[in-house]
Amino acid sequence: MNSEQQHIIDQVAHDVHERMSGDSSHDWWHIFRVWNMAKRLCEIEKADGFVVELGALLHDIADWKFHDGDETVGPKVAREILESHGVVSDVIDHVCEIIATISFKGAGVATPMRTLEGKIVQDADRLDAIGAIGIARTFAYGGDKDRAMYNPDRPHALHQNKDDYFRDDGATINHFYEKLLLLKDRMNTNAAKELAEQRHQFMETYLQEFFSEWEGKK
């Protein structure tokens, strides 16, 4: 990456830091972790670091979950930011494509990434959704949305379309089965697949403990 590109990265990072004000599941520190992981994966996979870093920094700039389910807001805001910093159009298009495609949309919905850069950003984002951090983020988001921690009378659902997934407001524990436990097998890169194994096992262990305590067995 040349000095001009690094300057743009620094400027975009500053802009994102100033704009991110969501709950702690989707705040600047989520972006920071995804950015760092994306750089790590990018070095291993030998991808275009400029696109990867911009995609990681901007992937949640206007998340649909906080904009009434509107999936167009994120790419639109990202484009405005990138244009303001003089980023060339083909890079802008690539980054906006990543942002538009990155989100999980239900157990039965495929969300393939076209490019290696997109796969890396998607993997970095999904790694932050699992493991110890993923558990913490899930409960932070559930609390922000006033969702029950767990309701045994309301089973989880494996959504077959994005509309059902977007509308679901089930208990936080359901989210493990509806998304988090599925992510290990949806990683794109070999490096992410290896990292996901340990994080996935941590969630499995946590759920075993959770239900043992819930049922009064411990």
pLDDT tens figures, 86-99: 999 999 999 999 99
Q: 3-state SS of the chain: helix, strand, coil percent to 5?
A: 65, 0, 35
In the chain, the N- to C-terminal Cα span, in Å, equals 53
User: What integer pLDDT is reported at residue 108 of this predicted model?
Assistant: 80
User: What integer pLDDT is reported at residue 63 of this predicted model?
Assistant: 66
User: What integer pLDDT is reported at residue 68 of this predicted model?
Assistant: 57
Q: How many CA atoms lie within 13 A of 93 on its CB side?
A: 4
With b for 16 or more beta-carbon neighbours within 10 A and e for fewer, the 42-62 pattern comes to beebebbbbbbbbbbbbbbbb
CATH number for the domain that contains residue 43: 1.10.3210.50
User: What integer pLDDT is reported at residue 64 of this predicted model?
Assistant: 56
Radius of gyration for the alpha carbons in the chain, expressed in angstroms and rounded = 18
User: What integer pLDDT is reported at residue 85 of this predicted model?
Assistant: 97
Domain that holds residue 172: 3-214
Which residues have a Cβ under 8 Å from the Cβ of 105 and sit 6 or more positions away? Answer: 111, 162, 165, 166
This prediction's pTM: 0.92
Reduce the DSSP state of residue 30 to 3 states and report it. Answer: helix
- Regions in the chain scoring below 50 on pLDDT: none
Cβ atoms of residues 107 and 124 within 8 Å: no
User: What integer pLDDT is reported at residue 169 of this predicted model?
Assistant: 80
User: What integer pLDDT is reported at residue 77 of this predicted model?
Assistant: 93
The domain tally of the chain equals 1
